[in-house]
């Protein structure tokens, strides 16, 4: 049994393990804070609900742009590790800034810097993960990384609950505690990650260009299809609202969230590994179809147990799609421009995320929750059909 487990993880190289551990610690740190920020802002600092929305909108838009620029810059200087370290460090240093905040705009500034840090690290990190493993196991590698990230999202809220048990509603103390796992994430990458400089072919010598046109046409079509899918992928906050409509008590929402992330943890690596065996496109399409079925299920759900079942099944979509989507980006890009490729991929996701939630909320308000969820399912089916028709299969690359 132990030998089989070791064999299953043998393809996960040192760099992938290090970034997996870093994502675990960093997400644990983030999730200690993030779910409580709206309450801290409104209850402790006296901010309005509208101000909270402004913070999140600015933060996510900033992260999307930073992901593109950092990915391109890592190609330009042919280095990924130090940029990743910088990104994690910048985010970590915002924890004490939030802990000592006395005005709402202090949190706005800290959240802005935190998202800049996320943007700085994401594309170079993904490019380094892709170059750290054999191309035939990239799906498994990205699946492992995403699984570790989701595990941190379980531990973070659990630690917050434990801290609040001993120090009820002591937000500032909790935010200081959140600094510790963040520092562990920075230290792990700085100490153990190994730089792998991307090669430069003879015909591509010179500074890397920040241009959409340097990407392969197949990759550009794929990124546009991802943009379409993301337009139907609204904030998971709407799923929580729907669960409450179906009778799930507010006190049980954290447990519902833990169930979702537990399924993500269990399915992420097998889902990524599946894409190594049957192809990225098939796996992603399967994930998007599962997403469509889940959203259609939320549209017709009528009982509390439906919400629990749908939340658990929703985690399967993440397992099938997250690792495979990133692996396909690396399959369709040149190694020397992988940072830029991941930058445009993450920019597409970020650019579509804000209008996705705005459109979803508008349809919910003007028509019904059922109509909004069916709309999200329709976007997913349309994107799956386009992925099948417009994006070629990435060939299975033989082991070196």
User: pLDDT by residue (tens digit) across 140-181?
Assistant: 999 999 999 999 999 998 898 888 888 887 888 989 999 999
Q: How many CA atoms lie less than 13 Å away from 111 in the CB half-sphere? A: 25
* pLDDT above 90 as % of the chain: 56
Is-contact 344 68, C-beta < 8 A?
A: yes
| pLDDT for residue 242 | 87
Is-contact 287 139, C-beta < 8 A?
A: no
Q: Which residues contact 390 (CB under 8 A, 6 or more apart)?
A: 221, 225
**Domain for residue 210, yes or no?**
no
Residue 231: give its domain's CATH number: 1.20.1250.20
Would the pLDDT of 398 be above 50? Answer: no
Average confidence (pLDDT) over 9-19: 90
Closest to 326 measured CA to CA, from 148, 145, 168, 99:
145
Would the pLDDT of 9 be above 90? Answer: no
**Domain for residue 277, yes or no?**
yes
**Domain for residue 47, yes or no?**
yes
- Phi, psi dihedral angles at 275 (to 5 degrees): -65, -25
Q: Residue 106: which domain range?
A: 12-194
Average confidence (pLDDT) over 320-347: 94
Element (H, E) at 73: helix 49-77
Domain end marker among 194, 227, 249? 194
**Domain for residue 6, yes or no?**
no
**Domain for residue 204, yes or no?**
no
Closest to 171 measured CA to CA, from 52, 32, 53, 50:
32
Residues 221, 364: one domain?
yes
| pLDDT for residue 48 | 64
Average confidence (pLDDT) over 106-118: 86
Residue 251, classified by CB atoms within 10 Å of its CB into exposed (0-12), middle (13-18) or buried (19+), is: exposed
Residues 167, 260: one domain?
no
| pLDDT for residue 64 | 86
Domain end marker among 136, 160, 194? 194
Q: What is the DSSP letter of 47?
A: -
Residue 101's SS3 state is coil
State the residue for tokens 């409104």.
Answer: 42
Would the pLDDT of 400 be above 80? Answer: no
Is-contact 37 111, C-beta < 8 A?
A: yes
Would the pLDDT of 392 be above 90? Answer: no
Residues 182, 246: one domain?
no
**Domain for residue 109, yes or no?**
yes
Computed on alpha carbons and rounded to an integer, the radius of gyration of the chain in Å comes to 21
**Domain for residue 200, yes or no?**
no
Number of domains in the chain: 2
**Domain for residue 63, yes or no?**
yes
Average confidence (pLDDT) over 25-47: 80
CA distance 28 to 152: 4
| pLDDT for residue 396 | 46
Average confidence (pLDDT) over 362-379: 92
Mean pLDDT of the chain: 87
Q: With bands split at pLDDT 50, 70 and 90, how would you rate the model's confidence at 2?
A: low
Residues 227-236: tens digit of each pLDDT: 999 999 887 8
Q: With bands split at pLDDT 50, 70 and 90, how would you rate the model's confidence at 276?
A: very high
């Amino acid at each position: 049994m132990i030998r089989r487990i070791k064999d299953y993880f043998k393809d996960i190289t040192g760099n992938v393990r290090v970034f997996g551990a870093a994502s675990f610690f960093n997400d644990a740190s983030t999730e200690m804070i993030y779910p409580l920020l709206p309450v801290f802002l409104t209850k402790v600092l006296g901010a309005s609900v509208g101000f909270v929305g402004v913070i999140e909108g600015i933060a996510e838009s900033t992260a999307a742009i930073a992901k593109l620029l950092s990915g391109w810059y890592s190609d330009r200087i042919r280095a990924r590790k130090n940029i990743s370290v910088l990104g994690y460090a910048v985010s970590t240093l915002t924890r004490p800034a939030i802990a000592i905040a006395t005005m709402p705009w202090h949190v706005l500034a800290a959240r802005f810097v935190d998202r800049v840090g996320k943007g700085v690290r994401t594309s170079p990190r993904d490019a380094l993960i892709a170059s750290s493993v054999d191309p035939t196991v990239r799906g498994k590698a990205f699946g492992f990384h995403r699984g570790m990230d989701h595990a941190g999202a379980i531990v973070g809220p659990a630690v917050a609950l434990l801290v609040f048990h001993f120090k009820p509603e002591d937000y500032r103390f909790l935010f200081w505690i959140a600094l510790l796992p963040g520092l562990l994430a920075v230290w792990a990458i700085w100490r153990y990650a190994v730089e792998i400089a991307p090669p430069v072919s003879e015909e591509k010598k010179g500074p890397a260009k920040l241009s959409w046109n340097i990407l392969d046409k197949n990759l550009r079509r794929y990124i546009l299809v991802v943009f379409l899918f993301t337009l139907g992928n609204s904030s998971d906050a709407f799923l929580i609202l729907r669960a409450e409509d179906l009778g799930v008590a507010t006190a049980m929402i954290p447990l519902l969230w833990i169930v979702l992330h537990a399924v993500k943890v269990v399915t992420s690596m097998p889902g990524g590994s599946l894409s190594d065996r049957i192809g990225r496109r098939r796996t992603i399409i399967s994930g998007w179809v599962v997403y469509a079925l889940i959203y259609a299920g939320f549209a017709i759900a009528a009982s509390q147990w439906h919400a629990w079942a749908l939340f658990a099944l929703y985690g399967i979509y993440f397992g099938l799609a997250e690792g495979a989507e990133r692996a396909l980006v690396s399959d369709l890009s040149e190694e020397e421009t992988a940072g830029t490729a991941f930058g445009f991929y993450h920019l597409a996701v970020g650019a579509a995320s804000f209008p996705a939630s705005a459109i979803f909320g508008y349809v919910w308000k003007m028509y019904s929750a059922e109509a909004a969820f069916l709309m999200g399912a329709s976007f997913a089916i349309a994107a799956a059909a386009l992925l099948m028709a417009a994006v070629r299969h990435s060939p299975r690359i033989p082991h070196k």
